[in-house]
Structures are given as C-alpha cells and as structure tokens.
Chains A and B, each alone.
With several copies, the nearest count.
Chain A
Amino acid sequence: MDKTVPDLAAAVAGITDGMSLMVGGFGGSGAPIELIHALIDQFKATGSPGRLTIINNNAGNGRVGIAAMIDAGMVEKMICSFPRSADPRAFTEKYLGGEIGLELVPQGTLAERIRAGGSGIPAFYTPTSYGTDLAAGKPIAEFEGRHYVQERWLKADAALIKAELADLLGNLTYRKAARNFSPLMAAAAKLTIVQASRIVAPGEIDPEHVITPGIFVDRIVEVADPQQEEALMRDGVAYA
C-alpha cells in the first residue's frame, strides 16, 4: 500500500462545494499552506470548492493560507476559538459585513470535540463555558456537585494536515509545536490529506515515535520546503 499522490492538485482533488474542512495548525505553526493554496488554485480554475466550513483554531492571518481562502470567497463559516491575529482583516471585514458565519468554541472544547469526533464519542461533558454565553442552549448536567456543559463531537469531510515525516503507509511525525490540532483532525475527517516535508519508506519512522498512525491518513504529498505563514506575511505575500 502506498498512500502518496503525485502532486498538490491530486492531493486536494474531490473537495467539493459545501464541505466541512479541518485545517491543522495554530497560527502559523502547522498550517498546511501549500495544500490550502492548491485548493485556492482549484477554486480559481473551476469555481469550486466554495461554501466551505473551515475548522481551525484561528481564522487566518494576513493574505495567505486560510485568510486567502476567505479573501477568495470560498468560506461560508468558520468554527474556531480565536478569530484574531496579527492581521485579521480577511475574516474581520467579511464577518462585520455579515458575509461569513462564526461558531466560536473555547479552545479546549474545540480540541476535545474534534478528538471525540475521531474517537466515536458523540457527546461529553466539560466544565468549560458553564455559566457563560457560550453555553447558551446546551444541556447542563450535575456530577458530584458541580455543573457541566454537554458538548457534541465535531467531524469533517476532509482535513488538511502538515506533517514533518510521513511513511508510505501514512504514519506521521510533526515538527515541535506544529503538532497542535493535527493528530486530532487527522482522526476526525473522512478524508485526511497530508503534506509532509519528507516521505520515507515504512520502517524508517520508529514505531515508538509515530504520532499519527497511518490508519488515520488517506493521501500524502511531499512538500520539501514548506512555506511558513510568518515569513509570507513578512514578505507581504497575498495569495488570493
């Protein structure tokens, strides 16, 4: 079995209008810039995929990555914890103009909902957000004298993930804090698409060091020197 695909266009093929899309990364660390830009290329060429729901901790920065998807008009709704950044114009303008939706989720709840989605847990209780506006309308239960909010799993049609190493079977490692949401999202999406800085033969990643086992991965494409959001912003790049 070999899960590699020849290029970025093949990697993002099949993502269609109206899908939900998890995008790994926390700020720039772990952001799969090349996969996102390949999807923008596809949108520019074909007008699809549009009306996407994007799940990420943030809502884009500057004019690249998720922000460029928003600029291009591909995004209908963001599910995130923190739609602010050094340069949040892309989201802010569309949000204040009523052109984009927002489901705001506390960061730990966002992580746990995605983890639940990948783990077959349809709902769980958390103390987070109890008594706040973000618990409005959610079931409340008391356990051992304390109140908790019921939260539901979060799944997606596809996930875009940036890894450091991938073997042909899809076993992954990540680089430093670029790990963040990616192992959770890889498990919670129907179609998990990975860009890896290097693709290696099975056995070259120590089985003890695998962070995402290949069972969660569908497609792998090598992107040897991935772009970093912070560098693109410093250089004033606008992709959309």
Chain B
Amino acid sequence: MSTRLSNAQIAWRAAQDIEDGAYVNLGIGFPELVAKFQPPGRHAIFHTENGVLNFGESPPEGEEDWDLINAGKKAITLKPGAAFFHHADSFAMVRGGHLDVAILGTYEVAETGDLANWSTGPRGVPAVGGAMDLVHGAKRVAVITDHVTKDGRPKLVERCSLPLTGVGCVTRVYTSLAVLDIEDRHFVLREKLPGISVDELQGLTGARLVIPATVGDLVAPEV
C-alpha cells in the first residue's frame, strides 16, 4: 500500500462526499480533478466564476471555443440545462451561499478554519482571483491538499503564517494521509490511511488532532 494518496486519489475521495444534484465550484488547478471522479449515478452541477452553470469536460484539442472557458481560462463544454450570466450574478451565487460545496487547494489551513491559499508573501506579483469570495461562498468549504509541503513541513497548522484568504471558513480537509473535519477550532480526525499510526499522523500535523472513538480507514482506488 502506498504511503500517501496521489493528487488524483485525494480528488477521488473528495468527490465521494458530493451529493447528487449538488452545486459545486472547484478551484483552479488541482481541485478541477474532482470533477472526474463523480460516483456513478450522481450528477453535480458545476459553477465557474466567469458566468457558467452546468459545464462539462474539456473539448478535444483544436475544437476549443475561447468564449467558452472556465475560471482557469481552460476551454470547457456545456451540458444540457446550462446557463450563462454576468459576473455580478455569478458572485451573487457565490457570496449569497447558493453553492453547496466549494473545493479549494491551499498552502496552509489552520485548526480555526482559517485558510491561506492566495499569496506566498510579499515577493512577486500578487493575484487573488475569486479565492476570497469562494471561501464565503458555499454551505461547505473543503480543502484538498498534500498533508505536508514538499520539504516536509505541516500544511495543517495552529495558525496560518501566510496571508489569509479567509477566516474560519474551512469545514473539511482532504489530505494525502487523512480526512479531517474542523469543529470547535480543532482538527477532528475522521479517516486516515490504514498504514499510518495516529502518532505518526500527529507528528506530520502542526496542530493537535482530536481523535474520536471511531476513525475510518482512508482507502482510495488506483485512479
């Protein structure tokens, strides 16, 4: 058994929690993978900030229509029952709490639910896009992420060290090692890889884990 889930497997796990008919916004990049792993028989309706509801997969190369793109500026297609709308209406959907789920990537997430996913500090060109709106935009804001950074530091922390995207907004975290809920300003462990002990997981986490009586096995297929 692998010692950690791949990005695709993390996305697969997050996809299992999306209900049939849910309205979902997937952040640019890694979170877009989630759309590939909808369980059979379930059909989420995907929203993109630039004014489309109910879009589908990318078109074949060479058949792109560049007036039909997602927030990441990638070409998309429409499913039957799609709708176009302008940016203010699009963010009315977001800010107004009409989305059921938003799934975002992150640099850090704190046990308080604080999220830092837009800026790695004062160097370079800052860019925020829709991130700060999306964290206030859904009934459920989830994060998918490696459990630690490439150089092994925890991404789940007591307090974010990077500039915040939002305060107290995240309720669930899917990592390469575990699934955790954020409740009462603590990470509550719901599932972990069978091959890792609670102590090992705590050692890779920058905040105290709350361990309930039952912790499920985090098992994802090869995808």
A residues with a Cβ closer than 8 A to B are 1, 26-30, 57, 81-86, 88, 91-92, 95-96, 102, 104-112, 114-115, 117-121, 126-134, 167-169, 171, 174-184, 187, 201-203, 205, 207-208, 210-211, 213-216, 228-231
Does the CB pair A106–B92 fall under 8 Å? no
Does the CB pair A121–B95 fall under 8 Å? yes
Does the CB pair B66–A119 fall under 8 Å? no
- In Å, the complex CA distance between A111 and B85 comes to 12
Does the CB pair B94–A108 fall under 8 Å? yes
Interchain residue pairs with CB less than 8 A apart (10): A26-B69, A85-B73, A108-B94, A112-B88, A120-B94, A134-B128, A179-B51, A201-B80, A202-B79, A207-B84
Does the CB pair A81–B91 fall under 8 Å? no
Q: Which of the four size classes fits the interface of chain B?
A: 35 or more
> CB-CB contacts of B16-58 with A at 8 A, as 1s and 0s?
0000110100000000000000000001010111111110000
Does the CB pair B87–A180 fall under 8 Å? yes
Does the CB pair A115–B67 fall under 8 Å? no
Cβ contacts under 8 Å, B54 to chain A: 169, 202, 214
- In Å, the complex CA distance between A120 and B166 comes to 16
- In Å, the complex CA distance between A203 and B131 comes to 30
- In Å, the complex CA distance between A92 and B54 comes to 34
Q: Is B183 an interface residue (CB 8 A)?
A: no
> CB-CB contacts of B61-103 with A at 8 A, as 1s and 0s?
0001111110001000011111111111111111111110000
Cβ contacts under 8 Å, A182 to chain B: 86
Which A-B residue pairs are the 6 nearest by beta carbons? Answer: A202-B81, A203-B80, A120-B95, A108-B91, A108-B133, A131-B167
Contact of A184 among B67, B88, B131, B136 (CB under 8 A): B88
Most chain B beta carbons < 10 A, residue from A95, A108, A119, A215: A108
Does the CB pair A207–B83 fall under 8 Å? yes
Does the CB pair A213–B85 fall under 8 Å? yes
- In Å, the complex CA distance between A111 and B51 comes to 12
Does the CB pair A118–B92 fall under 8 Å? yes
Contact of B84 among A119, A210, A228, A231 (CB under 8 A): A210
Does the CB pair B131–A106 fall under 8 Å? yes
Cβ contacts under 8 Å, A208 to chain B: 84
